Copies of this chain bind each other. A is one copy, B any other.
Amino acid sequence: MFCWLSRLYGGLSRPTRRTTQLIWGSFSRSLVLSSQRRIPELSSFVARTNTCGELRPSHLGQEVTLCGWIQYRRQNIFLVLRDFHGLVQVIIPQDESAASVKKILCEAPMESVVQVSGTVISRPPGQENPKMPTGEIEIKVKTAKLLNSCKKLPFEIKDFVKKTEALRLRYRYLDLRGVQMQYNLRLRSQMVMKMREYLCNLHGFVDIETPTLFKRTPGGAKEFVVPSREPGKFYSLPQSPQQFKQLLMIGGLDRYFQVARCYRDEGSRPDRQPEFTQIVDISDMFRNTEVGFLQDVLSKPQGTIKAICIPEGEKYLKRKDIESIRKFAADHFNQEVLPIFLKTNNWNSPVAKFIMEEQGLGLIRLLETQEEDVVLLTAGEHKKACSLLGKLRLECADLLEARGVVLRDPALFSFLWVVDFPLFFPKEENPKELETAHHPFTAPHPSDIHLLYTEPQKVRSQHYDLVLNGSEIGGGSIRIHDAELQHYILATVLKEDVKLLSHLLQALDYGAPPHGGIAIGLDRLVCLVTGAPSIRDVIAFPKSFQGHDLMSNAPDSIPPEELKPYHIQVSWPTDSETEKSSLNHPCHPES
């Protein structure tokens, strides 16, 4: 499904943040896709005759009218004009007769919107800019018009100017003018278009919008509620079109897709963190250890000792790196990490020394380590230990790359399928009861169906996750199409109230075909492709981590009389409740 990705990616170069010059060059290159195609009648209903980015030597001598933002001005002679199509250099006339034009263009603040008319001329020899697609020409201006003046900006529209995240979000419309944001959003649009072309035009998929005002479903505690005008009746904003997808399959629309919005009002589940860990379990080696804290861990049912090996770590990792790794583990996972230097035990730790003496050779064999490697060892509850080491692996890679070691090729896309997940987990609060690992509609692995009635905790699911460069970018499953099986899992295994899902159970009874699907996390995928540090950099108007829109100040108070039609009123919390609720997870709408 991702064959187009490398092609698309290869055709666009990422903007870098090095120098202004480079940024300009890349800005224009990043728009190359749209200028390659002839845009018909681009300006049929607007003042401009051309766009800033399209002018070439073939336009020499033409009279043109351009509109754009003032990107840059130098010595009151040169001005760079910007529109969605690119940049062009404009020459401000210096002769007395054009004084009014000069006044407009020299007095307009940066980022003002102007319209200029003039002639396309060659740049003087030696002044061409090969990094700008319009770098061989410039515009000799005759008339100019200020379309809208720009007040003093809260920050300069230059990517290398550092601004806080809060400032960026508050003035998002200015932040969007930056090279990197323009690149990210335009690439995202093109990626989605390619996906649509692939699914619709090549494979006959049908694009169908499913409702976002729906009914609360089991496990829907994370869904936003929307009061209706009927007293006490609420819609909910579904976390995903989960049920509608299945109903469409049952409805005979058997190749469906949607670019869907998902609403979640709290952080993702910890087991869905974008982590991918390759670790080695070394618990067996320590079964007879004399190190106390390791003994403790192994005596617990989920206790495990795990390690990762950092090749040539001794050469590249400094003492303060190791300190920061240990601090990270302590702060974020409340876990102890033990570094073991295989060659020279220069880590001043008696425990590490003891371990090396006791299990050194075994470790070297099992981890296939070399002399200069460093081993990071941790012990604890299985899931926690895995998560921590997965995170540390990425941290160490960052550290080594900062020291000049080439580990990961940013232009390389490495995909991986993760399969054979368990269908159920024991509930944390009551391990005798089971909860679903993903959701109750996932089909059991065909080879394990017999276990469902005897040892359900051993059943593997037909869930699959897709991982790109170490980050989970999607997941899906084969669904249950048999009404009886679905009823058994909901009612007997999970002890859910099946009444809430009666419409789905009924639908399965009316000729549901075997079916499955996958959902790709578009935000995260675009992040990986653009190299954006946060999904907020690939969304036009993101909410802050707390779920706030810093630009408009949403969510906001509503006068009680406007709540009346919805038959609700605010229950103001008491002081003690306020304290408690501040400890809750923050909300993540539309993640």
Interfacial chain B residues near A411, Cβ < 8 Å: none
Is the pair A541, B210 in contact by a Cβ cutoff of 8 Å?
Answer: yes
A511 to chain B, nearest CB (A): 4
Interfacial chain B residues near A244, Cβ < 8 Å: 540-541
> Are A570 and B226 also in contact (CB < 8 A) when A40-B202, A213-B554 are?
no
A377 to chain B, nearest CB (A): 40
Is the pair A229, B148 in contact by a Cβ cutoff of 8 Å?
Answer: no
Interfacial chain B residues near A572, Cβ < 8 Å: 231-232, 567
Is the pair B229, A226 in contact by a Cβ cutoff of 8 Å?
Answer: no
Kindly report how many copies of this chain are found in the complex they form together. Answer: 2
What total of chain A residues lie within 8 Å of the partner, measured CB to CB? 124
Tell which of B82, B248, B552, B567 touches A570, judged by Cβ atoms closer than 8 Å.
B567
Please tell me if A189 contacts chain B, counting CB pairs below 8 Å: yes
Interfacial chain B residues near A69, Cβ < 8 Å: 252, 511, 513
A150 to B513, CA, bound (A): 10
Most B C-beta atoms less than 10 A away, residue of A227, A509, A563, A572 = A227
Is the pair B211, A549 in contact by a Cβ cutoff of 8 Å?
Answer: yes
Please tell me if A427 contacts chain B, counting CB pairs below 8 Å: no
Please tell me if A285 contacts chain B, counting CB pairs below 8 Å: no
Tell which of B228, B513, B540, B571 touches A587, judged by Cβ atoms closer than 8 Å.
B228
Most B C-beta atoms less than 10 A away, residue of A182, A229, A539 = A229
Is the pair B113, A514 in contact by a Cβ cutoff of 8 Å?
Answer: yes
A172 to chain B, nearest CB (A): 7
Please tell me if A8 contacts chain B, counting CB pairs below 8 Å: no
Interfacial chain B residues near A581, Cβ < 8 Å: 229, 231, 565
> Are A556 and B200 also in contact (CB < 8 A) when A189-B207, A568-B227 are?
no
A224 to B182, CA, bound (A): 32
A positions within 8 Å CB-CB of B = 34, 37, 39-40, 42, 67, 69, 82-85, 111-113, 147-151, 153, 171-177, 182, 185-186, 189-190, 192-193, 196-197, 200-204, 206-216, 221, 224-237, 243-244, 247-248, 250-255, 259, 261, 263, 265, 481-482, 503, 507-514, 539-541, 543, 547, 549, 551-558, 562-573, 578, 581, 584, 587, 589-590
24 A–B contacts from the bound complex (CB under 8 Å): A84-B206, A148-B512, A172-B251, A185-B253, A186-B206, A189-B206, A213-B224, A213-B543, A214-B549, A227-B568, A229-B584, A231-B572, A232-B557, A233-B556, A233-B557, A234-B555, A244-B540, A261-B261, A503-B551, A503-B553, A564-B571, A567-B572, A568-B570, A568-B571
